[in-house]
Copies of this chain bind each other. A is one copy, B any other.
């Protein structure tokens, strides 16, 4: 735990130094925050140094959940100390939204923030993304949550050893890819016309599927620059892909990439939903009603395809960047996107939501269920990647989905209790839980979360956290079974 804070404080020095270089006053505030985090981290390490290294699964849940919470408490210091975000609940919300890579914001005028604070904001995304990669490859499979054991190691069974001689080693390789992608995107965005600062921040936000932008209009600011938007599209796609797939691609094992079942479905889902969305925009939508500036640089068809693809990817990968207000396109798109909030990207990526692989297993199980009814005595397992999936894992996944659905509806009822209307309450719940960011109604892509009540902000933060940690990790702490000595 201590090491997390140390590490967090270390990262905080980056925006502090940057601020200092460009001569901003907040440099000192961020530096103080960094020092507090580092000292807290060091003392925590000092007091726990005699603790033995073996942790049980039970301790695992507690460490992951509390670890994330301490990160937030430390990460909000720059906002609180600098006073750039007023209200503790606002700083807490913005930081939780950062680390969980949700990207929902309570800042009304982002462009008025000092650049050091903006950079720290984007860095919380990027640090969160690193954490998620570790969770996906190492921690969640070990805890056996929601069927994650299925898709953690790319090839389950004996050959898994090839992929991960050691878990720490795997994590490092994937972090290397994560870092490499971020750097590449930064350079490409710069070449395409962004300045270094915007390029860096957007790259940090893209790879983590976070969605914080340095502009109030998000990516719609660059609606006259299709190249920039296509670069973001490419990297959103990569960020929603299992990083292990990227690893294989770099190793030249293209065969493994093309035979990755989740990747195929991920690709076809995006292609299919983009087709529906773009056709719907092209034939039925009136772009002029959007409150976002919407120039059609390369003609109406290109514009429909680009914005359709961009927004479908932004929602499926749960990045939440905005080039247009999809709630104003057509009712069909609004509702389709609401459905997509529950899809999510690939497992082993930084995206949130239910994840493609779980849907694939559920759909396949659904079809098998029909066959089971017709042939009650036949054994009909679900097949995935050519082998049959353990019944227990299918069971885990169904249980996960139902818990997700229940959390969603309770989440929405509570939001409605704080005064949100029907559409906004459902959207806020789905968006928080799925770590997407923008939602519907009063929380549409052109609005932000500042209008929530204080309680509503904490509730949203809670949903972001449980969604990010695959529900069971956090919610198990609220069950009596956890605290029983057995």
Which residues of A pack against B, CB within 8 Å?
Answer: 57-58, 143-145, 330-332, 334-336, 338-339, 342, 362, 365-367, 369-371, 373-376, 395-396, 398-399, 401-403, 405-406, 409, 412-413, 415-417, 419-423, 425-426, 440-441, 472, 475-476, 479, 481-482, 486
Contacts and interface: CB of A to CB of B under 8 A. Distances in A.
Contacts of A425: 331, 335
Nearest to A395: B395
Given A57-B373, A335-B422, A423-B423, 16 more contacts: A144-B373, A330-B416, A331-B416, A331-B419, A335-B426, A339-B409, A362-B402, A369-B472, A370-B481, A373-B476, A374-B481, A375-B486, A395-B398, A401-B402, A402-B402, A422-B441
A373 B335 contact: no
Contacts of A336: 413, 416
Given A396-B369, A440-B422, A335 B412 contact: yes
Contacts of A419: 331
A417 B374 contact: no
B479 A399 contact: no
Contacts of A369: 396, 399, 403, 472
Given A339-B413, A398-B402, A420 B370 contact: no
A406 B421 CA distance: 24
A220 B187 CA distance: 66
Nearest to A405: B405
A336 B426 CA distance: 11
B413 A332 contact: yes
Contacts of A440: 422
A370 B409 contact: no
A481 B371 contact: yes
Contacts of A405: 401, 405
A369 B373 CA distance: 25
A472 B370 contact: yes
A371 B339 CA distance: 31
Nearest to A410: B339
Contacts of A144: 373, 376
Given A339-B409, A373-B145, A472-B373, A366 B422 contact: no
A331 B475 contact: no
A478 to B, nearest CB: 9
What 7 A-B pairs come out closest when comparing CB atoms? A335-B416, A398-B398, A331-B416, A332-B417, A369-B399, A332-B416, A339-B409
Nearest to A478: B370
Contacts of A342: 409
A230 to B, nearest CB: 28
A405 B413 CA distance: 18
A424 to B, nearest CB: 9
B367 A479 contact: yes
Nearest to A374: B481
B423 A422 contact: yes
A128 B476 CA distance: 44
A403 B370 CA distance: 11
22 contacts: A143-B373, A144-B376, A145-B373, A331-B416, A331-B425, A335-B413, A335-B415, A335-B422, A339-B409, A339-B412, A342-B409, A362-B402, A366-B399, A369-B399, A369-B403, A370-B475, A374-B476, A398-B402, A401-B402, A401-B405, A402-B402, A422-B440
A365 B246 CA distance: 37
A240 to B, nearest CB: 21
Contacts of A334: 416, 422
